[in-house]
Amino acid sequence: MTRYPKHSFYAATLAATLACLPQILLAQAGDKRDEPGQVQEEVWKTMDVPPAPILSPEEAMESFEIEAGYSLELVAAEPLVNDPVAVTWDEHGRLWVAEMWAFMPDVDGTGEDQPVSRVVVLEDLDNDGQMDRSTVFLDKLVLPRAVAIVEDGVLIADPPNLYFCKDTDGDLVSDEKTIVAPYAVKGNVEHAENGLLRGIDNWYYNAKSNRRFKFENGQITFEDTHFRGQWGITQDDYGRLYYTTNSFYLYGDTIPWENVSKHPGHKPTAGFRTPVVPDQSVFTNRINPGLNRAYRENWLRPDFRMKKTDAISAPAIARGHRYPEDAQGNALVPEPGGNVVSRFQLANEELEIHGTKQLHDGSKWGEIEFIASTDERFRPVATALGPDGFMYVVDMYRGILQHKAFLTTFLRKQIIERGLDNPVGLGRIYRIVHESDDSSRAAPKLADLTSAQLAEKLDSDNGWERDTAQRLLVESRSISKEATDILIRQTASANTVTRLHALWTLEGLGLISEEILTTAFETGDEFVQAHVLRISEPLLPQANAQQNELWQSYMQALSSDSKRIRLQAVHLLGRVENASVTQHAIANLPESDLTDPYFLDALVSTLHQHETSILELAESAPNSDRYKQLLSLLVQAVFKAGYTDTALHFAAVANQQQTPAPITEAITQGFLNAMEAKNVTPLEIASKPQSFVDEESPIYAAFTWEGKIDPNAVVAYQYSDEELASINRGKPLYENLCGICHQANGEGHPSLAPELVGVDWVTGDKRRLALVVGQGLYGPIEVGDTLWSAAMPAHGKHASLKGEAFNDVLNYIRSAWGNNASPFEPGEARGYLEEQKDRTEPWIAEEFEDL
C-alpha cells in the first residue's frame, strides 16, 4: 500500500514549486561548496535514465540483486512504518523504530521544524517474521534519530533533547517523558549526535560526538571520549567501536580512548579513527544520475554508475548465528546514494583491523555490491543485528535523500524534473537470510527469564541475545547466587566472547573480584587478558600493596609476548602508583615499543605528572637513543599543558654539559616541535636561568621572563574583568554549540569542520567573524593550509545566542587556545548582523573582499 502523508506542509503542488524556482536557484545551498565557475551541466539528460516509479514492497523485492545464497525478506512496510532511520529491539523481541517524517518533506525542506515525527513499536504477533501491528509510542517529535531500551523505559534522541520515556500501563504508549540531557543540540539533521549504542563495557557511545554516558536509576552521567564519526556507530564481539562518515566506509577504534587520554598536553592518535576500509569505490547495478554532484568530472564511472562513496550511513557488524562462517563478524555498510549495501570481511593483524570488500557478479554490470537495487528510491540508511540473529536493512524509501543544507541546483532540478520529490512517508525494513539456515523466524523473548537463565544466555552464539542479557542483568542491580555462580564459571571456562560478557556483567553489578580476574587472566586468550586488565584498573593499587595474585598477573602482562596484552598493561602503569615498577616496566620494554605510536601514546599518558622520571632511565641506559622519541613527546606535552616547573627541569638537564648528547638532542627537539605549533606563547618564569646562554636554542625561545628582549614577540592583549566575564560566559556556549564539530580544543575534525586555532578567519576582522557565525558561510574557503568546501550553518538566531550571548561565544573563540584577539564590545556583534538584516543567504568567501 502506498501512503501519502496528509500533513499540510506536504501539500505544495509542483506548479507552485516551479513558479518560485528562479528565486530558489539563485542561492541553492549545495552550490556554494563548488569551486568558483563550476558548471553544473544537466548531465542526466545525456543518459538513458530509467524511470523511478514508486514500487510496492512486492515490486521492490524484484529490484534487488544480492550475493548468491542470500536473499531478502520483507519485515515491515508502510503503513506500519514510515520514514524509518534507526531501529532497536527490546527484551520482548519487539522492534522500535525512529521515524523521521519531517526530514525533507519536499525539495525545499518545507516544514522540517514541525513536530510530526514519532517513535513506533512493531510486533510480530504470529512469529512468521513479518510485523503485524504498529503502535505509536511517542509522537509530536521533530527529527528523532536514535532509540535505546533502558531500565524501565526508553531513551529517545530528538534534538535538542535526550528523553527518558516510560510506559506505565503496558499499552506501549509513553505516559512519562523526561528530559535527561541536552542531545544533538547543534547542526543540521546530518551533523548532530546519534547512536545510543550500549558498549560491552556498559557505557553508551554516540556518533558525531565526543562524549559517552551511563544511565542508571533514571540519572545520566557523561564523560569525555574520542570524537567519532557522523551517522551510526556499532561494535564487534570484542567491544571495539566502528563508525563512518558520508564519504568513508568504516573507521575503527582498536584500543580504549580512556586508557591513553590522561595527559592534557598530548593528543593520542594511534588506534583511533583507523581506516578499516580505505577503499572508497562503489559498484552499483544501475546508473546513478541522482547524486548531488554527479555533474563533476570523475564523479561517475564512464558507464554513469556511482564511482565513490558519497552518503555512507549507519553500519553494523554481523554478530548473529544465521550465516556461514565467512560472514561472521563482517561489516555491513549502507550507501543510500548508490542504492546499495556493502559487505566487508574484517581481519585482525596484531592491533590493526583490515576490511576486504566482498563483491559478486551482477546480471548486467559485472561485479556489484553485496546488496544492490535498480530501484532509485531504495535508501538503506541503517543496518542492524536483530534478536533472531539475522541482519536487518532499514530503507527510508524515498526519492529525496540529500538534505537542503547541501542540496545543489543540479540535484534539485533533477528531483523536480524526474518526479523524485513525491511521495514521502514510505519505508521498508528487510531481513537478510541465507539459504543454509532454517525457516524459523520467531524472535527470542528474554523479558521473563530469571537472572540465572539470563546468565546462560551470555553463552549464546547470537550477539543480540548476549548484549540484551548483559544489559538486563546489569540493570537489575541484584541477581541470584545461582546466576552469580554461572557468571563466575563463564569467566574461566567459556569461549572468549562469553567470557568478555560475563566479566563486564560482573563489573557492572559490582561483583568483580581479584580472584575472578586472576583466574580469567590465567586461562584466557589475549582478548580476555586485555579486558581483564581493563577491568582491573581500579584494583591495581590495592593489588600492588598486597602483592597478590592479580598483581602477579599484571606483572606478567607487562612482559607478555603479545603486543595487545603488553600495551594494555602499559596503559595502566599510571594507576599502579609505584615509580620503581613504572621505571622497571619501561626499561624492559622491547626497543621497538619505544618507537611504536601505540606505546608512545600510552607512555605519555601514563607518565602524566611524572614526566621527568624518564630522565633517570635515559641517563642510566647503555643506549639512551632508545628514549629519544618518548623524551621529545614528553617535553612537547608538558609545554602544551603549561607545566612550567617540569619544562624548566627538562631545560636544565638539556643545558648541563654532562648530559648525554642523545638526551639533550631529544629535549631540544621537543621544545622545537612545541614552539612550531600555532598560537604558541613562551612559558613565563621569574628570571633567566643561568644555563640559558644559547639565544638561538629552541629552549631559550620557549621561556620568557621580565626584561627578556625578543624582537619576534607579540604583545598579548590584556582582557579586562568585564571582557573575561564575557569570555567565561561564552565557553559553555561554544562547547555545547560549536565544540561538537570544531572540538573543545578548537582543532577541528577532518572532513567535518576546520580548526579555529590561530587562523585569520577567527583572529582577524571582527565584522567578518560575526557575519560568518551569525549568517553562515559556504565554501570553498581556505583555513590555515586546508581548502574546505563545507557549509557553516547560521547561528545568529539560535535560541542559546540571544542578546549578548552572541558576543560572548565570539569572544571565547577569539580568546581561547592562545588566539588572544581583541574582543567584541557589548552589542558590537549584533550590530554587524543588524547592518545585514535583509540578507537571507549565507556568505561566500569572495564577498568579504568587497565589504
- Is the pLDDT score of 605 beyond 90? yes
User: What does the alpha-carbon distance between residue 791 and residue 403 come to, in Å, rounded to a whole number?
Assistant: 12
Instruction: Choose among 296, 362, 328: nearest CA to 436.
Output: 328
Q: Is the dihedral of CA 548, 552, 553, 554 positive or negative?
A: positive
Query: Where is pLDDT greater, at 748 or 123?
Result: 123
Q: Side chain identity at 250, as an amino acid letter? A: L
pLDDT at 159: 93
Is-contact 127 387, C-beta < 8 A? no
Average pLDDT over residues 308-315: 95
Radius of gyration of the chain (CA): 29
Higher-pLDDT residue of 468, 577: 468
Give me the percent of the chain exceeding a pLDDT of 70: 95
Helix axes 597-606, 563-571, angle to 10 degrees: 20
Region of poorest pLDDT, from 184-198, 360-374, 467-481: 184-198
Of 467, 430, 451, which is closest to residue 95 (Cα–Cα)? 430
Across all residues in the chain, what is the average pLDDT? 91
**The pLDDT of residue 316 is above 70:** yes
pLDDT of residue 332: 98
Secondary structure (DSSP) of 94-154: PEEEEE-TTS-SSTT-TTTTSS-EEEEEEE-SSSSSS--EEEEEEEEESS--EEEEETTEE
Please report the pLDDT score of residue 28 as a whole number.
64
Does pLDDT of 145 surpass 80?
yes
Write the Ramachandran bin of 500: left for phi over 0, alpha for psi from -120 to 50, otherwise beta.
alpha
> Grid coordinates representing 108?
525545499
- Asked whether residue 608 carries a pLDDT value surpassing 50, the answer given is yes
pLDDT in tens, 84-98: 999 999 999 999 999
Q: What residue has cell string 550511513?
A: 313
Taking a C-beta distance cutoff of 8 angstroms, is the pair 321, 306 a contact?
no
Give pLDDT, residue 851: 73
pLDDT for 325 equals: 95
Specify the pLDDT at position 10. Answer: 30
Q: What confidence score (pLDDT) does residue 736 get?
A: 78
Residue with cell 562462517: 325
The phi and psi torsions of 768 (rounded to 5 degrees) equal: -60, -45
Identify the band that residue 747 occupies on the pLDDT scale cut at 50, 70 and 90.
confident
Looking at residue 324, its pLDDT comes to 96
Mean pLDDT on 115-144 = 97
Query: What residue has cell string 532509485?
Result: 376
In whole angstroms, what is the distance from residue 204 CA to residue 222 CA?
9
Residue 320, helix vs strand vs coil: coil
pLDDT tens digits, 812-824 = 999 999 899 999 9
Helix (H/G/I), strand (E/B), else coil: 398: coil
- Are 99 and 81 spatial neighbours (Cβ–Cβ below 8 Å)? yes
pLDDT of residue 460: 97
DSSP class of 281: B
Give residue 847's pLDDT. 86
Res 427: pLDDT: 98
pLDDT, tens only, 513-527? 999 999 999 999 999
Greatest mean pLDDT among 406-420, 538-552, 832-846: 538-552
CA–CA gap between residue 382 and residue 334 (Å, rounded): 6
Mean of pLDDT values over 269-274: 93
- If pLDDT is split at 50, 70 and 90, which confidence band does 771 have? very high
The strand pairing partners of 340, in sequence order, are 335, 372
pLDDT of residue 4: 31
Band of pLDDT at residue 24, cut at 50, 70 and 90:
very low
Confidence of residue 187 (pLDDT cuts 50, 70, 90): low
Check if the beta carbon of residue 223 is closer than 8 Å to that of residue 237: no
Provide the 10 A C-beta neighbour count for residue 67. Answer: 19
Residues paired with 77 in a beta bridge: 428
Residue 363 backbone dihedrals phi, psi, to 5 degrees: -80, -20
Q: How confident is the model at residue 189 (pLDDT cuts 50, 70, 90)?
A: confident
Q: In this structure, are residues 271 and 351 in contact, taking their beta carbons and an 8 Å threshold?
A: yes
What does the block give as the cell for 245?
562518515
The answer on pLDDT for 14 being more than 60 is no
Q: pLDDT > 90: what percent of the chain?
A: 77
What's the pLDDT band for 31 if we cut at 50, 70, 90?
Answer: confident
Q: Please state the rounded mean pLDDT for residues 530-547.
A: 96
Number of H helices, E strands in the chain: 27, 35
- What cell was used for 821? 584577539
Report residue 209: phi and psi, to 5°. Answer: -155, 150
Looking at the predicted structure, is the pLDDT value of residue 785 above 90?
A: no
Q: Is 363:370 a contact under the CB 8 Å cutoff? A: no
Res 373: pLDDT: 98
pLDDT at 11 over 50: no
Write down the pLDDT at residue 737: 79
Distant-in-sequence, close-in-space partners of 285: CB < 8 Å, separation ≥ 6: 65, 340, 362, 363, 364, 365, 368, 369, 372, 373, 374
Average pLDDT over residues 305-318: 96
Q: What is the pLDDT of residue 37?
A: 65
pLDDT computed for residue 35 by the predictor: 61
Contact 280, 308 (CB under 8 A): yes
Show Cβ contacts of residue 540 under 8 Å, excluding neighbours closer than 6 positions. 550, 551, 554, 572, 575, 576
What domains are defined for the chain? 50-434 (2.120.10.30), 611-677+682-712 (no CATH), 721-850 (1.10.760.10)
Peptide bond into 289 cis (omega under 30): no
Q: How far apart are the C-alpha atoms of 539 and 548, rounded to whole Å?
A: 11
* 298 pLDDT tier (thresholds 50, 70, 90): confident
Q: What is the rounded CA–CA span in Å between residue 293 and residue 230? A: 20
Q: Say whether the peptide bond before residue 79 is cis (omega within 30 degrees of 0).
A: yes
The yes-or-no verdict on residue 20 having pLDDT over 50 is no
Grid cell digits, residue 207: 556518533
pLDDT of residue 18: 29
pTM for the predicted model, two decimal places: 0.90
CB 368 within 8 A of CB 340: yes
Pull the grid cell for residue 51.
524511470
Split at pLDDT 50, 70, 90, the class of 610 is very high
